[in-house]
């Protein structure tokens, strides 16, 4: 197909899913050798995908950005969990099959709990929120427009000074207490714990004018990758 694809998630070396525009969901059972379209009777633009395992069973969510449709995968098929919520979902992170938070382009944080999306809906930004990453059920981060950086302490989300006014698009903090946030025109912020974020945009020697869209760190926080526009890929290693 030719639809735009927005998110990908593997639960093991063989089984993975991709979500995209116009209700696109693709599945592979052979490590990506072939991808098979799932039958989805909903045409929302699915920007957010999160798969997980419970025992030997696979479960998952896709969240839409145009209408806010929420689909759930029960191990056999995708079904509508909640339709046309009105939220423009941008990211999702879960600490367990029962608990998680999603961000929206409307600046909201939407909590999933007790089998319900919208258990709490918190307006914590005047601009778009782009990514969320939960380290544990009492420690999480979210980023968004104009340097928005939010911290979750297990009960509420609060604003933290980010050292930049540029848009932030991706964040990953590990259990070591270290992490990175990435964003507009190559913005790189490094986290060393104790709410200490420092601007490392010139870390790679020459600042790029391309936007960085996402970042991944190994749990050790000793190596990682950032990706962005125009095919930009950055590798991070601790000497």
- Mean pLDDT over 24-50 rounds to 94
- Mean pLDDT over 57-82 rounds to 95
Give the span between the Cα atoms of 111 and 117, in whole angstroms: 6
> How close are the terminal C-alpha atoms of the chain, in Å?
42
CA-based nearest residue to 84, from 59, 115, 118, 128: 118
What's the 3-state SS for 50-92? Answer: EEEEECCEEEEEEEECCCCCEEEECCCCEEEEECCCCCCEEEE
Compute the mean pLDDT over every residue in the chain, rounded to the nearest whole number.
94
Check residue 148 and give its pLDDT: 98
Where in the chain are the domains? 1-86, 90-238
Choose which CATH entry (3.30.1540.20, 2.130.10.10, 3.40.50.300, 3.10.450.50) describes domain 90-238: 2.130.10.10
Check residue 202 and give its pLDDT: 82
What is the number of residues in the chain? Answer: 239
Give the span between the Cα atoms of 202 and 67, in whole angstroms: 39
Q: What is the pLDDT of residues 93-125, one digit of tens each?
A: 999 999 999 999 999 999 999 999 999 999 999
* More confident site: 131 or 201: 131
Indicate if the pLDDT at residue 149 is higher than 60.
Answer: yes
Phi, psi of 22 (to 5 degrees): 55, 45
Which pLDDT band holds residue 39 (cuts at 50, 70, 90)? confident
Indicate if the pLDDT at residue 130 is higher than 80.
Answer: yes
CB 100 within 8 A of CB 112: yes
Give the span between the Cα atoms of 133 and 7, in whole angstroms: 15
Check residue 41 and give its pLDDT: 80
Which pLDDT band holds residue 207 (cuts at 50, 70, 90)? low
Task: Name, in order, each residue with C-beta under 8 angstroms of 142's C-beta and a sequence gap of 6 or more.
Answer: 91, 101, 103, 109, 124, 129, 131, 132, 133, 148, 149, 150, 152, 157, 171
CA-based nearest residue to 48, from 114, 2, 117: 117
Which pLDDT band holds residue 43 (cuts at 50, 70, 90)? confident
Class of residue 43 by CB neighbours under 10 A (exposed 0-12, middle 13-18, buried 19+)? middle
Which pLDDT band holds residue 205 (cuts at 50, 70, 90)? low
Q: What are 219's two structure tokens?
A: 């749990």
Enter the DSSP assignment of 194.
T
């Amino acid at each position: 197909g030719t639809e735009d694809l927005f998110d990908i998630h593997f639960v093991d070396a063989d089984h993975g899913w991709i979500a995209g525009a116009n209700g696109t969901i693709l599945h592979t059972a052979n490590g990506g050798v072939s991808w098979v379209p799932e039958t989805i009777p909903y045409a929302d633009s699915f920007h957010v995908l999160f798969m997980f395992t419970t025992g030997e069973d696979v479960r998952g969510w896709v969240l839409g950005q145009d209408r806010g449709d929420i689909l759930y995968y029960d191990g056999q098929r995708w079904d509508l969990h909640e339709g046309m919520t009105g939220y423009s979902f941008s990211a999702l992170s879960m600490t367990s099959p029962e608990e998680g938070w999603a961000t929206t382009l409307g600046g909201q944080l939407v909590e999933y709990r007790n089998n319900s999306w919208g258990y709490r809906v918190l307006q914590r930004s005047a601009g778009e929120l782009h990514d969320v990453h939960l380290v544990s059920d009492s420690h999480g981060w979210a980023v968004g427009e104009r340097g928005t950086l939010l911290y979750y302490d297990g009960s509420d989300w609060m604003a933290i000074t980010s050292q930049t006014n540029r848009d932030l698009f991706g964040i990953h903090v590990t259990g070591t207490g270290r992490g990175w946030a990435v964003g507009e025109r190559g913005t790189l912020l490094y986290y060393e714990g104790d709410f200490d974020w420092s601007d490392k945009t010139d870390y790679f020697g020459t600042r790029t004018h391309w936007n960085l869209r996402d970042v991944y760190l190994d749990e050790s926080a000793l190596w990682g990758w950032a990706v962005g526009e125009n095919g930009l890929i950055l590798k991070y290693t601790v000497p």
